[in-house]
């Protein structure tokens, strides 16, 4: 990747916190598309789900379909606008940070 392209990826809240590309993508970009496995190294899905248990109309981190193990980046995309994955089928109106 050239410097210009890399630059576009630094506009990311994690990178701004000083977290390196490697923390999600591994050495030599071994993980081009990070999953919950990488997020879990720093965010415990159980704790995340507990924290949002009172969010209305529904806890975004708990569902009968996926429990608390739905792939984080389906909603919290890291280099593009975030998405409300559930609302393909529901109308929860989540604002995903």
Cα-to-chain-centroid distance, residue 57: 20
| Nearest C-alpha neighbor of 92 from the set 60, 67, 68, 44 | 60
Residues of span 20-79 touching ligand HEC by CB under 6 A = 21, 23-25, 33-34, 36, 38-39, 41-43, 45, 48, 51-52, 55, 58, 60-61, 63-66, 70, 72-79
Report in angstroms how near the CB of residue 51 gets to ligand HEC at its nearest.
5
CB of 69 to ligand HEC, least distance (A): 7
Q: What's the min distance (Å) between Cβ of 88 and ligand HEC?
A: 5
Nearer to ligand HEC, 28 or 41 (CB): 41
Is residue 18 reached through a cis peptide bond, with omega within 30 degrees of 0 on the bond before it? no
Count of CA atoms in the C-beta half-sphere (13 A) of 67: 4
């Amino acid at each position: 990747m050239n410097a210009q392209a890399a630059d576009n990826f630094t506009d990311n809240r994690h990178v701004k916190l000083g977290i390196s590309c490697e923390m999600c993508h591994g050495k030599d970009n071994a993980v081009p598309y990070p999953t919950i496995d990488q997020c879990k190294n720093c965010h415990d899905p159980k704790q995340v789900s507990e924290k949002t248990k009172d969010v209305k109309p529904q806890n975004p981190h708990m569902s009968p379909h996926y429990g608390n193990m739905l792939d984080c980046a389906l909603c919290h995309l890291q280099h593009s606008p975030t998405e409300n994955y559930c609302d393909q089928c529901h109308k929860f109106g989540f604002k995903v940070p």
